[in-house]
Amino acid sequence: MCAAKLTIPFKRFADIRAALLDRQEIALLDVREEHPHAQAHPLFAANLPLSHIELDAYTKLPRRDVPIVTLDDGEGFAELAAKKLLSLGYTNVAILAGGVSGWQRDGGEIFRDVNVPSKAFGELVEAERHTPSLSAEEVQALIDAKADMVIVDARRFDEYQTMSIPTATSVPGAELVLRIRELIPHPETLVIVNCAGRTRSIIGTQSLINAGLPNPIAALRNGTIGWKLAGQELDQCQDRRCNDISEFNRGKAAVAARKVADKAGVKRVSLADIQEWSKQKTRTTYFFDVRTPEEFVAGHIPGFLSAPGGQLVQETEMVAPVRGARIVMADNDGVRANMSGSWLAQMGWEIYVVDEIQPSDFSEAGQSLRPLPHLPDVHKITPVTLVGWLNSSELTIVLDVASSQNYIRQHIPGAWYVLRSNLANDCQHLPKASRYVVTSENGLLAIFAAAEIETLVSGAEVVVLDGGTQAWRDSGFAIENGQTHLASKPIDRYRRPYEGTDNPREAMQGYLDWEYGLVEQLSRDGTHHFKVI
């Protein structure tokens, strides 16, 4: 007897809107690559590309019966992703009827760019709290006058190193309340908070105000974008950081952060409670350690994932795509979890901070291992074997399914970049060979892609480079960079208008104009549950 054809239900805009308004758990997943996602999507659509579902699903969607709705804009990826999720054990999967276009036709608001919930919330905070700011020209004049002023950069340290405001010190967002007192000589010192655009400078500035810092505080209006539009010079490759904290200042920051968290409605939980929560089958709970990545690697609570607080507030939907889920946060100082939690609670999340953590509770060292489905059986080879094949007369082609960003930065000489979600179309652009070797950053994504590639290069041998490009590099073999062999367009990465130092003025100004309009879009959308304290 033939098996019944799998039928996947459809959900419409009205169904999803009702779930969001009722604060039900729902994961609205845009399964296209990041660039098309950034062009148009619903407010709470989290980008989980079809090409990475096996790597990310069990971490980002921990409850197997959580309601999931996949979407695209007619490319066919939503159905493929839904089927893949069902094969991974998820039981409550549907497809958005009509995709992005259907959402818009049915009356849904459409947003562009990435991390939109957080950016829109930041604009709402400024609108409601009238967060003070200074223009690039005003801050430059203060620098020139050697004013009593401290500039702190609230972005990740790697972003700060790419370009920074002259004299600025790197203090990523969640670290601001914890570390700022080490940088200011007295209560009259002006504190300027900057980021690349607007969100992190607004949230950082308002964090210091909410925490009761007595100093005058202002955001650098429009961040490094505003600085560049003013024709002013940025620094590069700086390394100013605030690493030491006195116990006195740590204690003051902890008291202030707790008051802010309590006001925002952050709840308390013990380690004993969360051990039970981790076993629950009827509720999605995310467990995040909001300290720095270095602290996390040195020791963390088992079962927690690294999510530095500033970036967690900036990119919430990327690590917690189940809207309506519960989020548990931990640190070792009572500052970073409470401040980060205060913002997420205002963004409509159910937030808990773990109290009374002891140093011995951070008992697990190293990176956390992500849960993965069963790995397909593939034939693997070593980098040494690959060198021999590449030097032989028999043509061997290396296919790199890593992110385009990593491919451009470093890849095996002669390797072709292929985007996994577009394999069916893009494999036809590859040279014909008797053997194809598939690689990725660490070889993991290559394992899942190899079987798909094998069906597209009939008659050719397909193997996987064990350990991926990382193993090749660790073996001391040569590395190539640049866009040398692109079989696919690098649409897996959306180039942010505030990234780098060579963006057109029109793109930067357009981005700022878009941010200014987000509060009005939030009002039209109406599903956010944001409440600014």
In a domain, 309, yes or no: yes
Compute the distance between CA of residue 468 and CA of residue 404 in angstroms, rounded to an integer: 15
CA–CA separation, 9 vs 256, rounded Å? 49
- 33 part of a folded domain: yes
Looking at the fold, whether 42 and 76 belong to one and the same domain comes out as: yes
19 in the same domain as 84: yes
Would you state the structure tokens that stand for residue 171, as one six-digit string?
């203090």
DSSP letters for 8-76: --EE-HHHHHHHHHTT--EEEEE-S-HHHHHHSB-TT-EE--GGGHHHHHHHH--STTS-EEEE-SSSS
Please indicate, yes or no, if residue 370 is contained in any of the structural domains: no
- Cα 50 from Cα 32, distance rounded (Å): 6
- Does 277 fall in a domain? yes
Q: Helix or strand or coil: residue 196?
A: coil
Give the Cα separation of 143 and 146 in Å (integer): 5
H helix or E strand, kind and range, residue 170: strand 169-170
- Please name which of 230, 235, 218, 111 lies closest in space to residue 169, comparing C-alpha atoms: 235
Residues 335 and 395 in one domain: no
**pLDDT for the residue 482:** 96
pLDDT of residue 281: 81
Six token digits for residue 422: 């577009």
User: 447-465: string of b/e by CB count within 10 Å (b at 16+)?
Assistant: bbbbebbbebbeebebbbb
Per-residue pLDDT of the chain (533 residues; tens, 9 = 90+): 344 467 899 999 999 999 999 999 999 999 999 999 999 999 999 999 999 999 999 999 999 999 999 999 999 999 999 999 999 999 999 999 999 999 999 999 999 999 999 999 999 999 999 999 999 999 999 999 999 999 999 999 999 999 999 999 999 999 999 999 999 989 999 999 999 999 999 999 999 999 999 999 999 999 999 999 999 999 999 999 998 899 999 999 999 999 999 999 999 999 988 888 887 788 999 999 999 999 999 999 999 999 999 999 999 999 999 999 999 999 999 999 999 999 999 999 999 999 989 999 999 999 988 899 999 999 999 999 999 999 988 899 999 999 999 999 999 999 999 999 999 999 988 999 999 999 999 999 999 999 999 999 888 999 999 999 999 999 999 999 999 999 999 999 998 887 766 778 888 898 889 999 999 999 999 999 999 99
Q: What is the per-residue DSSP string for 439-472?
A: E-SSSHHHHHHHHHHHHHSTTSEEEEETTHHHHH
Q: Are residues 171 and 227 in the same domain?
A: yes
Neighbouring-strand partners of residue 351: 327
Bridging pattern class, strands 26-30 and 322-323: antiparallel
Question: What pLDDT score does 7 carry?
Answer: 87
CATH of the domain at 419: 3.40.250.10
- Do residues 234 and 325 share a domain? no
185 and 272 in a single domain? The answer is no
My answer on whether 283 and 196 are in the same domain is no
Contact call for residues 472 and 400 (beta carbons, < 8 A): no
Q: Are residues 143 and 107 in the same domain?
A: no
Q: Which of 92, 111, 130 is the last residue of a domain?
A: 111
Same domain as 202, residue 134:
yes
336 within a domain of the structure (yes/no): yes
Question: With DSSP H G I counted as helix, E B as strand and the rest as coil, what are the percentages for the chain, rounded to 5?
Answer: 40, 15, 40
CA gap 268, 350 in Å, rounded: 11
**Under 8 Å CB-to-CB from 358, ≥6 apart: which residues?**
none
- Domain range holding 125? 121-239
Residue 493 domain flag: no
Degrees to nearest 5, angle at CA 250 with 202 and 257: 45
Residue 183 lies in a domain: yes
Give Cα 350 to chain centroid, integer Å.
Answer: 20
DSSP-derived secondary structure for 325-386: -EEEEE-SSSSHHHHHHHHHHHTT-EEEEE-S--GGG--B-SPPPPP--PPPP--EE-HHHH
CA distance 36 to 414: 28
Q: Please give the pLDDT value at position 501.
A: 65
C-alpha radius of gyration, the chain, whole number: 24
pLDDT at 2: 43
Q: Are residues 210 and 190 in the same domain?
A: yes
Q: How far is CA 87 from the centre of its chain?
A: 26
Residue 207 tokens read as 């964090």
Domain C-terminal end among 111, 134, 155? 111
The DSSP call for residue 103 is H
Q: Is residue 511 part of a domain?
A: no
- Pair (447, 391) in one structural domain: yes
Question: Which among 56, 82, 111 is the end of a domain?
Answer: 111
* Distance, first Cα to last Cα, the chain: 62
- How buried is 79 (Cβ within 10 angstroms: 0-12 exposed, 13-18 middle, 19+ buried)? middle
Domain count within the chain: 4
Residues 225 and 151 in one domain: yes
Query: HSE of 427 in the Cβ direction (CA atoms, 13 Å)?
Result: 18
